[in-house]
Amino acid sequence: MHRPLSSEGPSSPLEVGVLGITGKMGQALRIICEENPHYTLVGGWSRSAPSSSKNFTDPRHVFEKAQVIIDVSHASCVIDHVKMAAQHQKPLLVCVTGFEDDPVHLLKPLASTAPLLYAANTSLGIALLKKIVYHVASHLGHEAEITITDRHHQHKKDAPSGTAKMLAEAVRQGRTSCIENTSQEGVSELLPITMTSWREGEVFGDHEVTFVTHNERLVLSHQALSREVFAEGALRLGGWLVHQQSGFYTIDDVYS
């Protein structure tokens, strides 16, 4: 049984390691760890970072020192990091997107000796939006035109975003539930899900799911107002993960 996620920090400082510490998300995590007494940054690693007292040249040193490791590096590094987590039996939270293949299918077989949580988006609001999208799709999915739009800063390379793909999967699962629970003819003729991505300015992350039927339009949306929402969410998830047994987890396991 999973321990419920608490909105409060751990009773003693959680010793955190960050992979990809020089990136925007890594820096947001560093700042919170320095300012919040519930967290201690014991070290980090980045492909481009020079060695220092907190920046290690080898990510293995992060696994040796931290209670939980948060990976915000790059998709090309994640498999190696998962293997290190297994070797050191340390909890690893992967917040990386941009995988060529489905990250769940890619990472799940590797999570046998340590807790591994994959979260394309660490925001509580997005976790709730995903549940709402599933619920709406389970009722309207067979008759609605569905569009998913994501907007991010101009530096984000992957499109659609990992969050947009996650929401699309929630739509597909909701549609499946809809079809299984209806006897209407023609429900197998589902309209395609339209995915649209915008990269502009310094947008932290906006996501919108629109359902349009013949006589109404329903819009579900989430807007991140700062990058800190993702960093704070990641640290809360890290605090949850250290209490879990070895195995693979997703955001659905946390907010079940």
Which phi and psi angles does 53 have, rounded to 5°?
Answer: -65, -25
Regions of the chain with pLDDT less than 70: 1-11, 49-54, 178-189
User: So what's the pLDDT on residue 1?
Assistant: 46
The whole-angstrom separation of Cα 251 and Cα 256 is: 8
Res 110: pLDDT:
93
Q: Pick the catalytic residue: 130, 152, 207, 222?
A: 152
HSE (CB half, 13 Å, CA atoms) of 69?
32
| Domain 14-122+228-254 sits in CATH 3.40.50.10490 | no
Q: How far is CA 127 from the centre of its chain?
A: 9
Which segments of 195-243 does DSSP mark as H helices, in order? 228-241
Let me know if the fold of 14-122+228-254 is the same as that of 124-225: no
Task: Classify 71 as helix, strand or coil.
Answer: strand
Specify whether 152 is catalytic. Answer: yes
Please provide the CATH number assigned to the domain covering 124-225: 3.30.360.10
Q: Where are the domains of the chain?
A: 14-122+228-254, 124-225
Q: What is the dihedral of CA 142, 124, 149, 215, to 10 degrees?
A: 40
| Closest CA relative to residue 138, chosen from 166, 168, 170 | 170
From residue 127, give the alpha-carbon distance in Å to each of 72, 131, 132, 136, 175. 19, 7, 9, 15, 19
